[in-house]
Amino acid sequence: LQGQELVDALAAMDVFAFTSQSETQGMVLTEAMAAGLPVVGLDASGVREVVVDQENGRLLYGATPPMLAAALQEYVDMSASKLKKQVAGALLTAKKFSLPVIARTALSTYKITAGDHAAHTVDIEDEGMTKVVNLIKAEWDILASAVQSGNQAISTALFGDKKSS
């Protein structure tokens, strides 16, 4: 769904259930949260970075269908005050993952990576953004390690045990 159809569908929900284990960015989760919906989701990459158990939804570890049903039932039985806190948590999370915030964080991270120390003036104190920055740094380290390993393998293949200059 897109546009008004998506808005209408989200407005008709009380909670958003997400059972995919292949969400890479969690965008559908933040869209649901922007509509004020707590999310019940399975622990997976892209989900665990967005859903904070008992704060903006339920993050289910090793979930079975009965566990998912029980978590959804919690929202049927939830007190109005607890639901209000979860909705507030969902809305706050959506703001943390909004396009302007993510763009500023990405730009700052790229500047830091490129060695522009002036980029440190961008405020990345929020826990969600810190996780994003740490994930980007980890990916960068993995890539750098793979490149170094590839260079060593090529050097060994071309020059044997001698180091290339």
The pLDDT score that the predictor gives to residue 132 is: 74
What's the chain's average pLDDT? 83
The pLDDT score that the predictor gives to residue 151 is: 64
The pLDDT score that the predictor gives to residue 164 is: 43
The pLDDT score that the predictor gives to residue 43 is: 93
Distance (Å, whole) CA 151 – CA 54 = 46
State the average pLDDT over residues 123-145: 69
DSSP H or E run through 39 = strand 39-42
Q: Indicate the pTM of the whole model.
A: 0.65
Closest CA to 26 of 14, 18, 15: 18
DSSP 131-164: HHHHHHHHHHHHHHHHHHHHHHHHHHHHHTTSPP
The pLDDT score that the predictor gives to residue 99 is: 85
Q: At what angle do helices 80-96 and 127-159 cross, to 10 degrees?
A: 40
The pLDDT score that the predictor gives to residue 85 is: 97
Distance (Å, whole) CA 123 – CA 128 = 12
The pLDDT score that the predictor gives to residue 123 is: 54
- Over residues 37-94, the pLDDT tens digits come to 999 999 998 899 999 999 999 999 998 999 999 999 999 999 999 999 999 999 999 9
The pLDDT score that the predictor gives to residue 135 is: 76
The pLDDT score that the predictor gives to residue 111 is: 82
